[in-house]
């Protein structure tokens, strides 16, 4: 059995301890370390090379967005899966975290099963974008559209990228943003999961992003989710 190695990053000891306890109740998860700030998290990630990092956003010394950026810029840690820990309704840096390269987001109020599924999904190379979580975050970002740090108007470059999508790629992108898996999208559109994967990969390439979570951000910025 393959064991998922996890680094837990949060400035609150009680939250870290609670998450560790939940994770270590599973036979296939091992918490290899804890960090209370972004700089320590980056150093520990380089030393431990975990499969997944659970990353808080609001931390001292270096915040979560900055830590994610450093991890993605370092070839040693660029491939580590990163799950953002968020309270959804108050974290306005979720968009920036996904743009920086996070693989998804997880509510701090998530139950044990949601936590385990998200960690395993990201460890396997996927993204944690549940329908409820995606709708909550996208809705929050949409309501803060007037705040330039969270949701700027689409730039000409954003619009050009979106315009390069085929109608099917645009349709698939919107469904991805709704939190649907490839299998669910395939069933909805009456096509094969492999065809869905091809459309998702092409959409990511055209939108100049590297991960499924970033595709959601790009779609939001380009106005594809406004309807």
Which residue from 77, 70, 75, 4 is spatially nearest to 37, judged by alpha carbons?
Answer: 70
Same domain, 167 and 99: no
**Any idea what the CATH number is for the domain that residue 104 is in?**
3.40.50.2300
Does the pLDDT value for residue 143 go beyond 60? no
Rounded CA separation 9/76 (Å): 19
Asked if 104 and 184 sit in the same domain, the reply is no
Domain count within the chain: 2
Residue 141 has pLDDT above 90, yes or no: no
Q: Look up tokens 């400035």; give the residue.
A: 11
| 20 and 98 co-located in one domain | yes
Cβ atoms of 47 and 74 closer than 8 Å: no
Angle at 73 between CA 174 and CA 20, to 5 degrees: 75
Q: What percent of the chain has a predicted confidence (pLDDT) above 90?
A: 42
Q: Which of 129, 147, 170 is the last residue of a domain?
A: 129
Supply the pLDDT for residue 138: 59
Domain for residue 136, yes or no?
no
pLDDT in tens, 60-109: 899 999 999 999 999 999 989 999 887 754 556 777 787 788 888 887 77
């Amino acid at each position: 059995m393959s064991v998922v190695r996890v680094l837990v990053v949060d400035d609150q000891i009680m939250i870290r301890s609670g998450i560790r306890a939940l994770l270590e109740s599973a036979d296939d998860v091992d918490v290899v370390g804890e960090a209370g700030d972004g700089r320590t998290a980056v150093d520990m990630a380089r030393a431990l090379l975990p499969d997944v990092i659970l990353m808080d956003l609001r931390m001292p010394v270096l915040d979560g967005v900055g830590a994610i950026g450093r991890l993605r810029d370092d070839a040693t840690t660029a491939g580590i899966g990163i799950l953002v820990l968020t309270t959804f309704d108050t974290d306005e840096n979720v968009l920036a975290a996904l743009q920086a390269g996070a693989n998804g987001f997880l509510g701090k109020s998530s139950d044990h099963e949601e936590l385990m599924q998200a960690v395993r999904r990201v460890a396997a190379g996927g993204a944690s974008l549940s329908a409820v979580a995606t709708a909550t975050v996208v809705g929050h970002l949409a309501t803060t559209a007037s705040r330039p740090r969270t949701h700027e108007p689409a730039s000409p470059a954003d619009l050009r990228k979106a315009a390069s999508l085929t109608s099917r790629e645009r349709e698939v992108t919107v469904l991805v943003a709704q939190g649907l898996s490839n299998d669910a999208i395939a069933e909805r559109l009456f096509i094969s999961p492999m065809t869905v994967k091809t459309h998702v990969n092409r959409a990511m390439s055209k939108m100049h992003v590297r991960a499924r979570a970033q595709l959601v951000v790009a779609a939001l910025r380009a106005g594809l989710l406004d309807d």
